[in-house]
Structures are given as structure tokens and as C-alpha cells.
Amino acid sequence: MFTLIRSFALLLLFWLPALQAADSGWLQNPQNSHAQVRLRADHSQADRTLILLDIQLQDGWKTYWRSPGEGGIAPEIRWQNSAINARWFWPLPQRFDVAGISTQGYHQRVTLPITLSGPVPDNLAGVLTLSTCSNVCILTDYPFSLDLAASADVSFAHDYAQAMGRVPIESGLTDSVTAGYQQGELQIIAGRPDGWQHPALFIDTLEGASFGEPRFILNGSQLVAHIPVSDEWGDSAPDITGKNLSLVLADGGLAQQITLPISAGVPFNSPAVPFWQMLLIALAGGFILNLMPCVLPVLGMKLGTIIHAERRDRRSVRLQFLASSAGIIASFLALALLMTALRLGNHALGWGIQFQNPWFIGVMVAVTLLFSASLFGLLHLRLPSAFNTRLATHSGRGLGGHFCQGAFATLLATPCSAPFLGTAVAFALAAPLPLLWVMFVALGIGMSLPWLLIAAWPVLALKMPRPGRWMNGLQTLLGMLMLGSCFWLLSLLVNHIGFTATLLVAAIIALLLLAALIKQWGIRRTGSVVAVLLLTAGGLWQAGFYGGNTPAKYALQDRLNWQPLSEQAIRQALDARKRVFIDVTADWCVTCKANKYNVLLRDDVQQALLADDVVTLRGDWSRPSDEIARFLQQRGSAAVPFNQIYGPGVPHGVVLSPLLDRADLLKILDDAKGTEQ
């Protein structure tokens, strides 16, 4: 009995301090059932008092960091004693993007350490104001009182140290950071010897300024972040040059608090490739576009134009090709204007993104169909009366048609991703606006180089044979090529209007065109052309389907278990010591289709990607996707196809060439195994 009483007394002795601990207990407000808070204190140190603010939220609810971003209110305490000097410490937050509004904060559970310096009363009281948001936002007050004369909870020291461990440190992540501001955009450049994987950036609010979501460009050890800046009402940006900027930069589990001045316009730089070399890359990328299948129908039209021209003297040929070159360059300037507008509106940027718009595709289907009908001799197209000229497909007089040919060639080229093009476009879209325009002009000049070459030496075109009966066959062939482009463009509408509707439109176009051809040519010639067209299409399909040495049962069948692309999926696979193959594609990307049939569907590649330690991730950019655009931007790309391989042997990832090579893919995939299995 005595032993039992003594044990109870000892238990009571240890239990009493807990009853008297400086702990508010979990506080709730009847008007907000989605959150509860608790405050705990330790007053054992003579010169300071330590406070822990625990916040617990239901799933789907969030609260805010010290700088909430474009909306929200940070937690705040109104102390009963106004003389109290409190310093808050903030763990690394997360970014929440809803309906175009970017905010910074926490979800589920977070603990905020607070330090009070100097003397404080034994009864520490105040009111905590907490903003919590889901589909709606609630501002809640929590009155509290802490008895500092009581002892702190035995776990307080451990919990406080753990909470401080989540607070960004002052150094250790990067020692090379610069910030510059120009034209409504803040640019931050940070260097890290080990390179960057999944960077995150959180910026403290400046008076009169509002910061949007950052765009990251990774270039080896260098990180370039572009942050749109506006005023607090979303209008024109204020001048923040010369002000001190406070931010938190994080990557790979490390977070660093940084304060630095904002200079006047840090110029975009890329230490790996000087700007003059990027200009050469842009010229090469634009030139190679002429060799892509997207542009071949227009080049064929150009040949037909020269042959049909009534005047085949050097001056007229030179003017025609100069007009076409002007159309190409003007179209690239229009693309630069589009990219500028998208950037200022903080929208996704990329090469060929206009093909994500069904209205643009519809217009292109109509234009290519009219060109096909014109080449078949079914109609004669005229430009609007303001141009007062004929399209060059039927007349050598006037230059408006030649200008339109150049512009049309550019539009058809944008679904193609040629070598060098992706590098140049990614550089342009990350650069300040003046350099973006310079790069797009260089791309236009590069694509127009063959046209300029003939303009410089018109004799190259004048050596072509005179028109004759053979021109009927050539013109029919060109019409068939353009018709193929028309139906390919029409197939892109499947993602927007559905397969049945697209098939119905295709059938109507085919029947109307067939009826017009029978009326124009007669049944015999029309039947011959249709038979040749069907046999050619069937032969190409058969050659592609059973190409190479692939066994018939595996002929171009995709047997891979593609998973949705996400940064989390990459991290999980790497944590499990697996290799990762990433394929970002789009239905409108011609190069993507070439990679698919020439490389990805081949049996040796399929077998390699079917290995147990390989995870295949695919992102479809056929329709607009901010997630995929952000994924590409973080890897310094702005175009598809994009392929990358991760693994124990290449933890930082290896980006493959836009035009895939089977041998290179298999070698890099094998190297990704590393030394351990």
C-alpha cells in the first residue's frame, strides 16, 4: 500500500508541472472549424522568451507566409503589452497558384518559432489573427494567455530546435546571387557549383510592387529566374531599382535567406554560349527548317511559281524571292510580337504553341485546302483588293503573293523542331525583350537564306525548264502534297472537337473535292490521281509500319506503360534507384512523329524501355498546359520534342537531341544504370 501511495505521489509530482506549463492548449473558433492553433512558451532564459505557434489545418486549407504573395494575410499577434518586441521565424513555404493568382504559404501543419527579447510579463496575453483559405477565405481571431511562471513542456526544447531547423539558413546554398530590374521584369541569377535540380524562389513584398510566379531557366551551375512585376493593382510596374530585395532560394532540401540590392537591368547572359554564337545557332536552326517536311509543299509551290512566270528575267526573279524572304522575316517578327504579348501577360511560352489553338488550326486547314484546290486548277485565288495582285501560284505579276508564300512557309514550319532551333528559341524566350526580337529576326534570316541565295543569283532559277505538258503532272503532285498537309492539320482537331466530328469534316472535304475534280478533269483522270494517292499513302504507311528488321508481331507497337509526367514522379523513381525516360510530345509536332516511328517504336528501343528498372513518363503538349510549359522552361527548353534520361548514373539528367538517334538513346539509357544496381 505504501509503495502504491509513493508511486502515485511521484506521478503527481511530474504531472503538476505539465498542468502549469506555459501552453494555451489547442484553440478553436466556432466560426472556423477548419483550423486550430496552439501557443507554447519557455521563459527559462533570462534575456529572451521562446514561443512556438502550432497551426493545424484541414486538408484543402492553407495559411500564409510572412509575404503572402498576390493575395492573403500573414499570421499576426496583437500583444496585450504593446512594448513586447517579437521576432518571427518562418519555415520554407510552398507556392499555391489558383485562378492565375500566385500565393506563398503552408498547408496541413506548420510550426512558427517566435523569440521575445527583453522583459515580459508573467501572464503573456494577446490575440492571434489567422487567415485561412480554400475556396473561400476566413479571417479568425484566437485570444490566448500563457502563464510564463510555469515550466515549459519537456518536449519544448526538441520541438523548438526542430522548427528552427526548417527555417532558411544564411549561407550554404549559393554565394553568387545578383538581381536586376528592367521593363516590368525582375531577373535573379544564382550560381551553384553542384548544379540545380528543383529550385524554388519566394520573394518578400516590396512597397508598391507585386511579384508574379517565377520562370526558371537552368544552365548548368547557373539559375536564371524571371519574375513579372506589377503594381499592387496589377497595372504598370513601379521602378524598384536600387531597393533592397529579401528572398528565400531553395533547392535539394536546402533553403537560404538572401538580401541583396536590385541593380538597373542585369543583362541576360549565358556563360556556356556567348551571344554571337547563339546568333549563329539561330541562323543554322532557321536554315534547317527549309529541309523539314512541313515546308516542302511551299517550296514546291515556289518552283511552280517560277516555271509559270510570264517574265523570267533576273530582275523579276530577284524581286519575287526577296518578297518571299520578306514574308518569312515578317512572320518571325509577328511570332516575336506574340511571344512578347504572352510574356507580358505571364502566359506559357513555346515554339509552335499556336497549334494548341483550334481556331488557328481551322484557319490553316482552310488555307491549305484553298491552296490545294488552286494547284488542282479548281479555282484562282486573289488577295484582297488592297493588294491588287494575284497569288503567285497563278501569276508572276505582283509581289504580294510571293510575300504570302514566305509567310505561309513560316506558319507551316512552326510545328517542326529542327536541330539548333530549340536551343535558339529557348535562349530567345529567356532573354530580355530586345534580345528576343534580335533572335527571332536571326531565325527568320536563317530560314530565308535559300530564298536570298536565289535572289542573289537568279540564274539558278532561270535554268529551270520552260513550261510544258509535264507541268500538269508536277502541279498535280504539288496539289497532293498540299492536300496531305491539309488533312494532317485537320487531324489535329481531334483533341478539340473529337474523333467523330473530325472524321465527318474530313469526309465532307474529301467528297466535295472529289466531286469538283470529276467535274474539272473527268472520271478517268480523277480516278487515276486518287488511285496513285491511295497507293502512295498505303505504301508509305506499310513501309513505316514494317520498317527495319522488326518482327511482324512487334511491328511499331507501343508496349510501354507510360505514366503522367511530373517532378514528383521523377524524384520517386530516382529514390528507388530506377532509370527515367521522359518524352514530351504533341500531336502537332512533326518531329515528334518522326521520333516516334523512327526510334521510340522500334523493337530494340521498346525492349530497353521495358526493363524493370525503367520508368517511362510522358507529357502531352497538344493542348495548353502550364505544368508542361514550366517543366520545359526549368530545363532551358521551349519546344517539343523534348526527351531526357535520368538514373543513378546520370542523377542530373541528360537531354537528348530533338531528332532522336537510336544508338545514342540506348547508350545514354545504359549509362544511366550507374555502377550500382
pLDDT digits (tens, 9 = 90+) for 409-454: 777 776 666 666 766 777 777 677 788 888 889 988 988 888 788 7
Torsion region of 548: left, alpha or beta (phi above 0 gives left; psi -120 to 50 gives alpha): left
Cα of 190 vs its chain's centroid, Å: 20
> Do the domain assignments include residue 557?
no
Domain shared by 323 and 406, yes or no: yes
Tell me what the mean pLDDT of segment 324-331 comes to. 88
Tell me what the mean pLDDT of segment 86-111 comes to. 87
pLDDT at 109 over 80: yes
Residues 98/65, Cβ–Cβ less than 8 Å: no
Please name the residue that has the C-alpha cell 509503495.
3
Which letter does DSSP use for residue 231 in this model? -
Residue 180, CA distances (Å) to 184, 241, 457 in order: 11, 8, 47
Which of 212, 232, 264 is the last residue before a domain boundary? 264
Grid coordinates representing 490? 485537320
Tell me what the mean pLDDT of segment 101-123 comes to. 89
Domain shared by 541 and 600, yes or no: no
Q: Would you say how long the chain is, in residues?
A: 677
Q: Could you tell me the pLDDT band of residue 38, with boundaries at 50, 70 and 90?
A: very high
> Do the domain assignments include residue 555?
no
> Do the domain assignments include residue 487?
yes
Domain shared by 372 and 291, yes or no: yes
Query: Residues near 646 by Cβ (< 8 Å), separated by ≥ 6?
Result: 570, 573, 574, 579, 580, 582, 652, 653, 654, 672
pLDDT at 550 over 50: no
Query: Residues near 292 by Cβ (< 8 Å), separated by ≥ 6?
Result: 413, 416, 418, 590, 591
Domain shared by 533 and 481, yes or no: no
Task: Give the total number of structural domains in the chain.
Answer: 5
In this structure, is the dihedral angle defined by the CA atoms of residues 153, 154, 158 and 161, taken in order, positive or negative? positive
Spatial distance between the Cα atoms of 264 and 180, rounded to a whole number of angstroms: 6
Q: Tell me the pLDDT of the chain averaged across its residues.
A: 79
Tell me what the mean pLDDT of segment 242-264 comes to. 89
> Do the domain assignments include residue 649?
yes
Residue type (1 letter), 142: Y
> Do the domain assignments include residue 309?
yes
pLDDT digits (tens, 9 = 90+) for 173-223: 887 888 888 767 888 989 888 788 889 999 998 887 888 888 887 776 788
**The predicted structure's pLDDT at residue 37:** 95
Domain shared by 357 and 488, yes or no: yes
> Do the domain assignments include residue 464?
yes
pLDDT at 151 over 90: no
**The predicted structure's pLDDT at residue 212:** 82
Domain shared by 436 and 329, yes or no: yes
Domain shared by 449 and 323, yes or no: yes
Which of 129, 164, 199 is the last residue before a domain boundary? 164
Question: Measured in Å, how far apart are the chain's first and last C-alpha atoms?
Answer: 63
Domain shared by 293 and 353, yes or no: yes
> Do the domain assignments include residue 654?
yes
Share of the chain above pLDDT 90, in %: 22
**The predicted structure's pLDDT at residue 657:** 83
pLDDT at 99 over 70: no
In this structure, is the dihedral angle defined by the CA atoms of residues 351, 352, 357 and 359, taken in order, positive or negative? positive
Angle, alpha carbons 662-665-668 (nearest 5°): 145
Per-residue b or e along 587-601, where b marks 16 or more CB atoms closer than 10 Å to that residue's CB: bbbbbbbbbbebbbb
Q: Count the Cβ atoms, other than its own, within 10 Å of residue 323.
A: 21
Please name the residue that has the C-alpha cell 508511486.
7
Please name the residue that has the C-alpha cell 505504501.
2
> Do the domain assignments include residue 170?
no
Domain shared by 107 and 189, yes or no: no
**The predicted structure's pLDDT at residue 160:** 92
Which residues span the domain enclosing 377? 275-494
Residue type (1 letter), 191: G
pLDDT at 77 over 80: yes
Domain shared by 238 and 205, yes or no: yes
pLDDT at 32 over 80: yes
Neighbouring-strand partners of residue 128: 77, 142
Domain shared by 341 and 414, yes or no: yes
Which of 207, 229, 264 is the last residue before a domain boundary? 264
At 608, which CATH number? 3.40.30.10
DSSP string, 356-387: G-HHHHHHHHHHHHHHHHHHTTS---B--TTT
Q: Could you tell me the pLDDT band of residue 65, with boundaries at 50, 70 and 90?
A: very high
Spatial distance between the Cα atoms of 367 and 654, rounded to a whole number of angstroms: 40
Helix residue ranges per DSSP H, 546-661: 567-575, 590-595, 603-609, 626-633
Domain shared by 120 and 223, yes or no: no
Q: Which helix (H) or strand (E) holds 550?
A: none
pLDDT at 575 over 60: yes
